[in-house]
Amino acid sequence: MAAKLNTYPKGAFLEKLGICRKHIFLRVMYDAIPTRKDSKLIRKDLVFDGVPVRVYWPKTPGAGNRRGIIYLHGGSGLIGSIQVYEKVCRFIAHQSDSVVMSVGFRLAPEHPYPVPVLDCLTASIHFLKNAEEYGVDPSCIAIAGDSSGGTYAAAICQELVTRKDLPRLRAQVLIYPFLQAVDFDLPSYQQNQSVPPLFRKRVVKFGSTYITGKEINVDPVIKGAHIPPDLREKYRKWISADNIPEEFKARGYVPNAPAPFSEEIYEQHKRGLEVMFAPLLAEDDIIRQLPETFLLTCEYDVLRDDGLLYKKRLEDNGVPVTHHHLPDAGHAGLSIFGWGPFEFPSSKKCLQLMVQFLKVL
């Protein structure tokens, strides 16, 4: 765990010295984690309409076409890769007897929003259109992701519900997803603002860099100065501490008035109110068409309440939800699955719960 938590400060220190940007340092560190070949899986690196992907097939013959899983990795759209999530995707392929397609989308700040999520959309559409070519039952394809990968999975699910030319996604699997950029003062943001590795300020910095391609002062955004009063009122029905069950406020919550609205801050961050960036803002006519959903939240995670709010929206619109809450876990467990003594206790638990859900689809 210590290695995971200390990597970001080291990258920030090197950036201050002018040696390298911290996101480059993080990418190099994470991609250096070695992986071994798996004798029970076939693995191929392919390109789907210009987007690099890695596909995993169980070697044991199946009775017919298998379930398909589209996996989108976390990392705030700034770090992470197919390589980093190799062990995660292998575990899913093995344990659920599925064909897993992992997407190597481009990253910000070199390729800011919406490039990463559009890459994921492009690869997903190709996989859906050509499912049988990869030994996949087109009627049984789920899309999954953790953290920002969960954001992309939710956004792509919403984008595809109106597409009549494609197979319908069977399910979405959202692991501690980021889903809204309206309110960074929800109970989970207050309670866990200093809990590593995902501090509140770090979330907003990453999101701002993902949108703008550069780092800017995010303190006004944390205080809510980026939301016009009319939009704040519109979103209140979906994004409010009033919609969070009281049990999740037990560790403390103090409602605060937002800072005065700033047109300048809004202009810098207004793309953060697009539903492809913030799926929690989608209209009900889209939400009610979404497939069966697996949703996992962690108690010591600033993003916990995003998941709880989305759970409510889905259930209010008649979408079946399987929700698991890990009371002793924090953010980013999947990103270090298979790291031996550095792995979070929740890492394998999270994957096991996901596989249980996938196996009965």
Helix H segments across 229-360? Answer: 229-235, 263-269, 284-287, 304-316, 346-359
Residue with the two structure tokens 């068409």: 289
Query: 49 - beta bridge partners?
Result: none
Residue 57: closest CA among 69, 47, 75: 69
Residue with the two structure tokens 């989108």: 72
Asked if 315 and 194 touch (Cβ cutoff 8 Å), the reply is no
Q: Is 147 annotated in the active site?
A: yes
For residue 76, indicate whether it is catalytic. no
**Annotated catalytic residue within 73, 126, 269, 331:** 331
Q: Catalytic residue among 147, 188, 208, 335, which?
A: 147
Question: CA-to-CA distance for 192 and 232, rounded, in angstroms?
Answer: 23
For the chain, first and last CA: distance in Å? 33
167 vs 95: CA distance, rounded Å: 24
Active site residue 331: yes
Q: Of the residues 137, 146, 183, 301, which is catalytic?
A: 301
Kindly list the distances between the CA atom of residue 60 and the CA atoms of 42, 97, 257, in Å, as whole numbers in the listed order: 10, 9, 58
d(CA 147, CA 164): 29
* Catalytic positions, written as ranges: 147, 301, 331
